[in-house]
Structure 1
Amino acid sequence: MRCLKLTILLVLFLTPDPVPAWRADIVKTWARNLGEEIWRLSEALTKSDQIRIKYKQMNASVKKKDGKQILESSLRSVSTMLTRKINAVKCIHETAIQIARNFNYVKNASEIQDFTYCSAKYSNFTYEIPGDKPVSDEKSKPKFTKNNPHYTTVSLVRDSHFYDINVNTNHSCVHVPTNIFYLENNVFNAIEWSKELNQVFTKNYQSDPSLSWQYFGSSHGVLRFYPGMPWNTKEVDTYDCRVMSWYIEAATCSKDVIILFDISGSMTGFKNYVARRTLRSLLDTLSNNDYVNVYKFNDTVTEVVKCFKGLVQATPENLKTITATLEPFVDAEGHLKPNVPLAGNANLTAAFVKAFDTLKERRKQCNVSSTQGCNQLIMVITDYVAGNLSDVFEKYNRVVVNGKTYTPVRVFTYLIGKEVTNVPEIEWMACSNRGYFVHIHSVEEVQQQVLKYINVIALPMILVAEKPPPTWTHANIDYTRTAKWDVSGDIDKPGEDKLVTSVAIPAFDFKKDDNSSNARLLGVAGTDVPIDSIAKLAQPHQLGVNGYSFIVSNNGYLLLHPLLITSINGNMQDNYNSVDFVEVEQVDDGKGSRELGEQIKKLRASLVDGEDGYMKEVKVLYHYDNMRRIARVEHDYFFNRLVGTPFSMGISLPKGYGDTELLLKDNPLEAKQGKALTGINVTDYFKFSYRVHPDWVYCKYHYLEGHESENVELEVWKFLVRISHNDLNITEEQYMQETAKEVPWSIETHCGNATRELGVDDYYCNEDLVKQLVFDAKLTTPYFENWDATNEEINLAKKYNVSVRFIATASGLTRWHYINDKTKNEKVNDTGYRHKEYKGKVFGDIYFNAIEENWYKAAVLQHMINKESLVISTPLPILDDIIQNKPPVQNEDGDITVTSTYAIFYKDGESETPASVVGFEYSYLSFYDRFMEITNVSWSGSREVTCSGEDYDCYLIDSSGYIVLSKDKEEVGQFFGIVNKYVLQSFLDQNIFQHVEVFDYQALCPIDILPEKNNSWSLVNTFTLVGNILRWLLVETLFLLSNVYNWKEYYVYGEVMEIYGTAHHGVRSREHSGN
């Protein structure tokens, strides 16, 4: 049974004549003829039947795969990789402590002349390639930096491992915040002693070439990072490592914070401005692991944001809401007005009572006592206090247990203004409640003064006198790879590919007595771990089409998910690192917006709690193609904790085909000669047009420097050559699995001493993926190097003006062949370089992601509805007004590319698996002409029915409701409900289509396009009313409705009409009926 997945719709315009039933047979004939012809065309072009037989001839079989085993294998690889990163940070951490302990601190740095360092902002950088644009702006450098002997000259080389950024892997560089002078004593000492970290940085990189940026941020704001590179100074530099999430989270742990913001009558003018800047700086030090609220107080005490009751999570969107509420606004006359009135007296007593009550309730909710040392803080921003409020603190912040008094909440006070009174009282408030007092005189002091609280709340970790555990951050963007810096070779990649998580450990300065009571926070050591490096270890090829992996934090936020969107129009989303799992993973449970069913809540809870488990046959709304296509399917979920992190990793496999894969009984890298097995020249299978998946790892060198390739195909080719020469061990892994009796970590055994020595030419491979790739290349070569066609097949292809035919396989291989324009077909020479006469982009330059392409997904999904069916599609317009640079539906010549695809499932016994997808592209204009020819066949009845006249509108509609063919070319790709919502409603009423809701929680809503309320009638409303009446009449005369014949005869599962046929005795016929 073979089908063409399309609906032929004939709409009869207003006519007084009744609709005769015999016209239904006409459409049946059209459908049969069109379906028969396109199917013959597909088979002629793609050779799908021959390819399916070829799998059998090459001795392939189908095996079951276990989702739990796939997950466990991925977890082992990822855990091993993350352990290496943790060990690298431990080396930085321990080395920093040792260096600082033995360093002779200078007391008057301004008198020191003989010292140099690499200043990321002001050193002179030279580039290996002349003409490489510097990231810094020479004209904007301060005068004191010019010809300054303290700044070294640093040579830079483009490094492919660091995304083609110009770096120096022999040296580290230093960033000092703009508001800090590098010759201030503490800053100078931090620069000097941290120089010796350069050695541990380089040793770490030599031991683990996959390491990304390494760094140490001191408590005085000095950031030393490796490898060395210039800092972006084209914009105002506001960077301070001490407010970065990796620094804050490692130094302070999670915390509950209530900020009391004074809005009394004395907090006007400049003091209010400084106070708001102080509040903003405090909020900048919070992360997704923290909880916060801000109370404004004068005579009364209320939440700054009315709907924020108790404590709310310190997500970027919540923090932004708080600060925006306090910011002034510009009135109609252009005057700046406060958003919150400043009046009355400051009732600090009432403010403290409300804050203490809130934090007490929080402890109750979390089931912790006042003596368990939770990080709970009250921060007061004011310009005056009437007294020391000792009674309040005795009542609300003193707990006596077994004769010992505890102070559960720390109090920090920020006194605003130059001329202030009662300073001792406000200082006493802080010091008597385990806090800290600062006096902020001006805006310039805000940042430095705010950050002092971090050293205070870091003290408990110091007093514990134990090794602090590594801390992992939520997802962050690597700004060196963004357009703002414009220095990397992959700035055009989407933001999701540039996410990193950071692992960091706080270091404490014990001086020479090793007394923890005298220690202080020295700084924080860390490194970035690119999320895409984790994704590659999750074996995406083994997950298969429509399967995927994901990583969720202990807060339920996504670090990795194929549907995570971090940027729109090149701009980062405010909440890109706080997108919840349930905002992307949508269960088909009929719930409305923001309503969660029990199943998705249970799945999320299991992930957040780090449980080891699975959940099978979950009904989901699987959406793809930018949420414009939806499939109601079932998926199986498997999940477990990533050991040593606050993250859980999971995989989702589609039911029905996600549990099978192709099994190669014979080794494609060998050939039989008699009874002996010999190596073969596998590059013979890669001599013409092909692409491999650019994000999958087939084989790779540990050190990319010196092994750069122009493209991933050339990189793979070089390894294929070595395989052919028997000069490569394909079983080499990137990370050797750690043994259960691994030596406990120590600076002597793990720092600079790799578990195995790596040479510059050492490599690693994915054995199964390489074998599958060679197998697919060998299998596809006879069918896609040339087109073996009969004259009849060639003439049929000309009718549709077919341009290219293609195949994509489960190994990530994509091949294509242009049947007419040979200049677009590529040849690959003996050195692996590909060439073609055509200078523009060809099929493989646009579609190279194989199983991740939309047409691949659609073909496989359609196979699960009807095993022998084609999918026909056209480009869809992007209707979202927010999106810029929308790709057009029509080509430059006014034509539209139509794509037909078919999924080849290889069956072995009772099991089958998606092995590949074949397809072809052709001209819409030719398709339309051929459609009109077929639908213009004369009928012998009383009247002739054709699509060419003005009496009828004819449409081809796909299963998602998008128009594939229309008499109006501008309607192609449009949703049919937009063109004629009343006809579509009729379809819904008769269960031909189904109404399914999915919610895009990551979208932006443009405020400027919201309609303004207007109670008056307008001409538009009047015309709309008339139009609605006419459309209703049109629906009443719609041809092919149930009063003519049974619609369900043409629709499968109430969704789409199928045109199919059966084959017997070598004769293939087409009939119409339901499935």
Structure 2
Amino acid sequence: MAGSGSPRRASRGASALLAAALLYAALGDVVRSEQQIPLSVVKLWASAFGGEIKSIAAKYSGSQLLQKKYKEYEKDVAIEEIDGLQLVKKLAKNMEEMFHKKSEAVRRLVEAAEEAHLKHEFDADLQYEYFNAVLINERDKDGNFLELGKEFILAPNDHFNNLPVNISLSDVQVPTNMYNKDPAIVNGVYWSESLNKVFVDNFDRDPSLIWQYFGSAKGFFRQYPGIKWEPDENGVIAFDCRNRKWYIQAATSPKDVVILVDVSGSMKGLRLTIAKQTVSSILDTLGDDDFFNIIAYNEELHYVEPCLNGTLVQADRTNKEHFREHLDKLFAKGIGMLDIALNEAFSILSDFNHTGQGSICSQAIMLITDGAVDTYDTIFAKYNWPDRKVRIFTYLIGREAAFADNLKWMACANKGFFTQISTLADVQENVMEYLHVLSRPKVIDQEHDVVWTEAYIDSTLPQAQKLTDDQGPVLMTTVAMPVFSKQNETRSKGILLGVVGTDVPVKELLKTIPKYKLGIHGYAFAITNNGYILTHPELRLLYEEGKKRRKPNYSSVDLSEVEWEDRDDVLRNAMVNRKTGKFSMEVKKTVDKGKRVLVMTNDYYYTDIKGTPFSLGVALSRGHGKYFFRGNVTIEEGLHDLEHPDVSLADEWSYCNTDLHPEHRHLSQLEAIKLYLKGKEPLLQCDKELIQEVLFDAVVSAPIEAYWTSLALNKSENSDKGVEVAFLGTRTGLSRINLFVGAEQLTNQDFLKAGDKENIFNADHFPLWYRRAAEQIPGSFVYSIPFSTGPVNKSNVVTASTSIQLLDERKSPVVAAVGIQMKLEFFQRKFWTASRQCASLDGKCSISCDDETVNCYLIDNNGFILVSEDYTQTGDFFGEIEGAVMNKLLTMGSFKRITLYDYQAMCRANKESSDGAHGLLDPYNAFLSAVKWIMTELVLFLVEFNLCSWWHSDMTAKAQKLKQTLEPCDTEYPAFVSERTIKETTGNIACEDCSKSFVIQQIPSSNLFMVVVDSSCLCESVAPITMAPIEIRYNESLKCERLKAQKIRRRPESCHGFHPEENARECGGVPSLRAQTVLLLLPLLLMLFSR
């Protein structure tokens, strides 16, 4: 890019440096007078460049032609103000109908499952060859199908991301640590086979359905359509449907839980490790509607988080991770005083219940210990009898069973469950027992509550088989319902058979939203009963560190973290409380990878989505964003102009519903519209109002195609050959593109392609060039260079765009935007040519950008450099190069600083990631404990935990360390915007030993400014102004307040915490070592000791 800088004269060299040195010596301590920069000359340059570049942009974009064509139809269109409340109510109704269809599909599965189980009689000797999802189509060395691995026909299906599936049958996944021919599993698989015909029928009724499934309480997972599951690199499939949120949420009611962990001296070593893992597994089972606290006890009580003494906190992901970090700090010593711990737990549950802040439903105490010397019946009599509203779940850690009777008695006497956890392999299976106990009242009530999860990334499949779209993993919500045993003899036992569900991609919601009615900056969003985002254009799921990774807290981003200008949570709280209404505020919306900001006033309209825990909101920007217009042309006219090859439509908008019938799924939206208009596909359902407007835009914009073609044909060999692309977009998502060079010669090969999300119409927003043009003064162009995502941003193109308005007033809708993309080198050359102009008759200019004493820049309205004599500064923020000048511009009001906040940021961790090595806190005792345990634990550990799992967990821990190099944080950062009323400014800056002068002049009809700066005064005492984000650090006191703070939330409408008919006699027991396991130990023992 040697030609893109200023053409400095060749005479500069050593002599110039020598002269400068002599001048400095002569001046001594005398302060230099500033370089005089004539405003009139800079104004001349700016005017010359502005006129030239606007002429090029207007000529090649065809902006004047398009404006004229829309004006011709001015009398034939009707302008309407959008009624935001009516719009949001209509959208909510559409979503309600869509959600209802999904929940009805799940209800049919529930009925079929319960009927099939009622007719089934358990057969301990049942032999049944089912399709095992891991083993299907697998053969042995002789070419025969493996047992449970029969032939299962799979074919790629575009509705399922082209994964090979079987849409006629489901298949069954069994976790690696479970025996796939266990009688309980075989019987469950056998009777649930009847779900196949319901799966298929549901899919026929609603072809937009994706995965349907039944997660059994016994651990197997039946999934439709059938798909092959591939183990990970260690041969393990760790997926267990029973610890997924949709299962737990459907199976149980909201709960308040106090976890008591014994940290007395007898818990040293592996016992404490198992105890910590047990606590962690319990935390995994808690959801956003649950509340908890963890107390460690020996002769004293130790709140794992001292800040939360005597209270409970919401079990959101952030809080659970916070407690996990503190768990690693626990170490064992002293004696265990369980009576003190139980008294404290009951007191917390009682007090917190009275505050009305918790779940106000189920309550439980989880006791994790290696023994209890008493039954503590006096404590239970004081707090819990006779109603027994607080359940006690006891977990005996270790192999010894000396104190098992006391712990079992406590559980049985308080409607809980007792289990013994001998090894790490036992933890998950034993922890999940409590969920089925908590489900009993719901089962006895026979209440099939419909539950909807918060948004999450598809996790029912191994990583390689997850559903994805152009933007990465698919975000979805799950609708689920519990399945109960209806056999009379088991009614009082409240037996949960499992949970059925189906996934609903969030993009299905977006398809119901008419983006064209929301305006250029408008958008729709939805939140849960806890205020978490279900969908919002500002929700950022992924971050990039080497590769794209999922943010740890992506599913619990609160609305207040993206609509952060609403400091009092007025909008959030109204939506959480399912109200219908309107709210307005000034907002600062970032665009262009967060580098730029648009300041506008939004009107928010909101209402609830009935039959779900969700609320819907719509944001409309004031001014042109509140208006919509209807044009009118004939179908014949419009269809003719839609046939032009340069026409495309926003494929993420829903003009026609191509999901209803499989034969339509391959159609693009443009193809679907053409077939619909020609009457060739009567089954297609399309948005007639939107299509009418598409036809209007196609007709009005059609002449520009011929205009662009004539330009390309008449384009001379040398003039303006830097212009490469012309484009337009209309409010209906219609686009036209024209290339002035061959496709292979384009400087920016990605521009306007599917992967260039910022610059095309998508489900969330209009193109960046459209949004920015809409905020410019009508008739002017906005110029920008694209920011790369890499560490060094060096663009080679400039994009220019302008808006097309229907009327010459603020209430006019912005009907379209047009623009061009040109080579940066071409653009810069025009700038340098203009800056050599001179008003002097003799041609001798008083100042020139070629002079050593000045630096010339072209910056945009956000302060980014488009032209500099130093090409490497292209794309940099002006304040980082000329900090003193930018600081002065801010002081003078030519630019203003806007402070922005990012509550979804990722920052470098300032501490080492934990590996859970509690022994580092007490290495001597940990070593002694390990020696004591090693001979009795090692072999059983290998058998029960399985060698693959052991190595797998080790590798996972190491991978976890790597992943934790970035962690969620809050940041603050500035953005800068020029003041529109200030067209030109001159200034002087007093520095330490000199005075620095500058001139800033707006480029006419643009968002650009020419800045000429005296370079002889460096002014290094003024620091550069950076846009780098700064992490907001909270002191311990503020951290504590944030932990305690609980935003308004709405509890789930149903609660089944207690039922008087519940039979609590099934409350657990001590597992015995099966002969089968002992036999497995013998060869392993021989193998170990023979080495």
Provide the rounded CA distance (Å) in 2 between the counterparts of 1:716 and 1:367.
52
Report the counterpart of residue 701 of structure 2 in structure 1: 780
Report the counterpart of residue 1025 of structure 1 in structure 2: none
What is the Cα deviation at residue 948 of structure 1?
2.0
Amino acid at match of 1:62: I
What is the Cα deviation at residue 489 of structure 1?
7.6
Matched residue SS, 1:199: helix
Matched residue SS, 2:822: strand
What does 1:439-588 align with in structure 2 at a 5 Å threshold?
439-465=420-446, 467-479=447-459, 485-487=463-465, 490=468, 493-495=471-473, 498-512=474-488, 516-569=491-544, 570-587=548-565
1:611 matched to 2:579? The reply is yes
Report the counterpart of residue 163 of structure 1 in structure 2: 161
Matched residue SS, 1:444: helix
Provide the rounded CA distance (Å) in 1 between the counterparts of 2:148 and 2:214.
21
RMSD of aligned residue pairs (Cα, Å): 3.3
Query: Per the alignment, do residues 839 and 547 of structure 1 end up closer, same or farther by CA in structure 2, a change over 3 Å counting?
Result: closer
Report the counterpart of residue 90 of structure 2 in structure 1: 73
From 997, 1001, 1017, the equivalent of 1:1038 is 997
What is the Cα deviation at residue 36 of structure 1?
1.4
Query: Per the alignment, do residues 625 and 478 of structure 1 end up closer, same or farther by CA in structure 2, a change over 3 Å counting?
Result: same
Provide the rounded CA distance (Å) in 1 between the counterparts of 2:498 and 2:712.
76
From 556, 563, 567, the equivalent of 1:597 is 567
What is the Cα deviation at residue 914 of structure 1?
1.2
Matched residue SS, 1:74: helix
What is the Cα deviation at residue 801 of structure 1?
1.1
1:315 matched to 2:316? The reply is yes
Q: Could you tell me whether the CA contact under 8 Å between 2:49 and 2:1003 is conserved in 1?
A: no
Provide the rounded CA distance (Å) in 2 between the counterparts of 1:797 and 1:656.
43
Amino acid at match of 1:85: K
1:227 matched to 2:225? The reply is yes
Amino acid at match of 1:36: G
What does 1:359-374 align with in structure 2 at a 5 Å threshold?
359-366=349-356, 374=361
From 928, 932, 951, the equivalent of 2:853 is 951
What is the Cα deviation at residue 475 of structure 1?
1.0
Report the counterpart of residue 348 of structure 2 in structure 1: 358
What is the Cα deviation at residue 916 of structure 1?
0.9
What is the Cα deviation at residue 408 of structure 1?
2.8
From 118, 125, 132, the equivalent of 1:119 is 132
Q: Could you tell me whether the CA contact under 8 Å between 1:964 and 1:973 is conserved in 2?
A: yes
Report the counterpart of residue 653 of structure 2 in structure 1: 696
Report the counterpart of residue 31 of structure 1 in structure 2: 46
1:872 matched to 2:783? The reply is yes
What is the Cα deviation at residue 64 of structure 1?
1.6
Provide the rounded CA distance (Å) in 2 between the counterparts of 1:446 and 1:75.
43
Provide the rounded CA distance (Å) in 2 between the counterparts of 1:480 and 1:184.
23
Report the counterpart of residue 1005 of structure 1 in structure 2: 907
Q: Could you tell me whether the CA contact under 8 Å between 2:264 and 2:298 is conserved in 1?
A: yes
What does 1:582-981 align with in structure 2 at a 5 Å threshold?
582-587=560-565, 597-598=567-568, 601-616=569-584, 618-664=585-631, 666-670=632-636, 682=639, 684-703=641-660, 705-709=662-666, 713=668, 716-724=670-678, 726-728=679-681, 762-787=683-708, 794=715, 798-799=719-720, 801-821=722-742, 843-845=752-754, 847=756, 850-851=760-761, 856-857=767-768, 859-861=770-772, 863-864=774-775, 866-878=777-789, 886=790, 889-890=793-794, 896-907=796-807, 911-940=811-840, 944-981=846-883
Question: Gaps (5+ residues) in structure 2?
Answer: 1-19, 25-30, 913-988, 1012-1091
What is the Cα deviation at residue 492 of structure 1?
5.2
Matched residue SS, 1:999: strand
Provide the rounded CA distance (Å) in 1 between the counterparts of 2:170 and 2:133.
9
Query: Per the alignment, do residues 814 and 381 of structure 1 end up closer, same or farther by CA in structure 2, a change over 3 Å counting?
Result: same
1:47 matched to 2:55? The reply is no
What is the Cα deviation at residue 845 of structure 1?
4.8
Q: Could you tell me whether the CA contact under 8 Å between 2:37 and 2:998 is conserved in 1?
A: no
Matched residue SS, 2:600: strand
Provide the rounded CA distance (Å) in 1 between the counterparts of 2:472 and 2:677.
34
Q: So what's the TM-score if we normalise by structure 1?
A: 0.78
Amino acid at match of 2:196: N
Amino acid at match of 2:550: M
Provide the rounded CA distance (Å) in 2 between the counterparts of 1:708 and 1:629.
38
CA offsets 1:620-654 (integer angstroms, 9 cap, x no match):
11112222111221001011111011110111111
Matched residue SS, 2:364: strand
Report the counterpart of residue 282 of structure 2 in structure 1: 282
From 76, 81, 88, the equivalent of 1:64 is 81
The percent identity for this pair of structures is: 29
Q: Could you tell me whether the CA contact under 8 Å between 2:470 and 2:755 is conserved in 1?
A: no
Q: Could you tell me whether the CA contact under 8 Å between 2:34 and 2:995 is conserved in 1?
A: no
What is the Cα deviation at residue 295 of structure 1?
1.2
Amino acid at match of 2:538: L
CA offsets 1:901-935 (integer angstroms, 9 cap, x no match):
10111128884101111010111112112111111
Amino acid at match of 1:555: N
What is the Cα deviation at residue 363 of structure 1?
0.7
Q: Could you tell me whether the CA contact under 8 Å between 1:802 and 1:921 is conserved in 2?
A: yes
Amino acid at match of 1:509: S
Q: So what's the TM-score if we normalise by structure 2?
A: 0.77
1:93 matched to 2:69? The reply is no
Amino acid at match of 1:314: A
What is the Cα deviation at residue 308 of structure 1?
3.9
Report the counterpart of residue 260 of structure 1 in structure 2: 260
Query: Per the alignment, do residues 921 and 1051 of structure 1 end up closer, same or farther by CA in structure 2, a change over 3 Å counting?
Result: closer
Provide the rounded CA distance (Å) in 2 between the counterparts of 1:202 and 1:627.
45
Q: Could you tell me whether the CA contact under 8 Å between 2:137 and 2:145 is conserved in 1?
A: no
Provide the rounded CA distance (Å) in 2 between the counterparts of 1:50 and 1:468.
62
What is the Cα deviation at residue 519 of structure 1?
3.6
Matched residue SS, 2:349: helix
Matched residue SS, 1:803: strand
Report the counterpart of residue 1024 of structure 2 in structure 1: none
Matched residue SS, 2:599: strand
What is the Cα deviation at residue 447 of structure 1?
1.5
Q: How many residues align?
A: 897
CA offsets 1:333-361 (integer angstroms, 9 cap, x no match):
xxxxxx32311111212212222222122
1:394 matched to 2:374? The reply is no
Matched residue SS, 1:202: helix
CA offsets 1:19-69 (integer angstroms, 9 cap, x no match):
476701111111111111222222211222221221243433422211112
CA offsets 1:199-226 (integer angstroms, 9 cap, x no match):
1111111111111111111111111111
Provide the rounded CA distance (Å) in 2 between the counterparts of 1:975 and 1:85.
50
Matched residue SS, 1:279: helix
From 431, 438, 450, the equivalent of 2:412 is 431
What is the Cα deviation at residue 326 of structure 1?
2.3
Amino acid at match of 1:242: R
CA offsets 1:1015-1059 (integer angstroms, 9 cap, x no match):
xxxxxxxxxxxxxxx994599413128xxxxx8x99999x98699
Provide the rounded CA distance (Å) in 1 between the counterparts of 2:533 and 2:718.
47
Matched residue SS, 1:237: coil
CA offsets 1:975-995 (integer angstroms, 9 cap, x no match):
122222222111111122112
Provide the rounded CA distance (Å) in 1 between the counterparts of 2:505 and 2:122.
36
What is the Cα deviation at residue 699 of structure 1?
2.0
Question: Gaps (5+ residues) in structure 1?
Answer: 1-12, 126-137, 328-338, 399-404, 588-595, 672-679, 730-761, 826-837, 879-885, 1011-1029, 1042-1046, 1060-1075
What is the Cα deviation at residue 687 of structure 1?
2.6
Report the counterpart of residue 756 of structure 1 in structure 2: none
What is the Cα deviation at residue 686 of structure 1?
3.0
Query: Per the alignment, do residues 518 and 265 of structure 1 end up closer, same or farther by CA in structure 2, a change over 3 Å counting?
Result: closer
CA offsets 1:874-925 (integer angstroms, 9 cap, x no match):
02244xxxxxxx286446xxxx100111011112888410111101011111
Report the counterpart of residue 269 of structure 1 in structure 2: 269
Provide the rounded CA distance (Å) in 2 between the counterparts of 1:669 and 1:231.
49
What is the Cα deviation at residue 844 of structure 1?
4.3
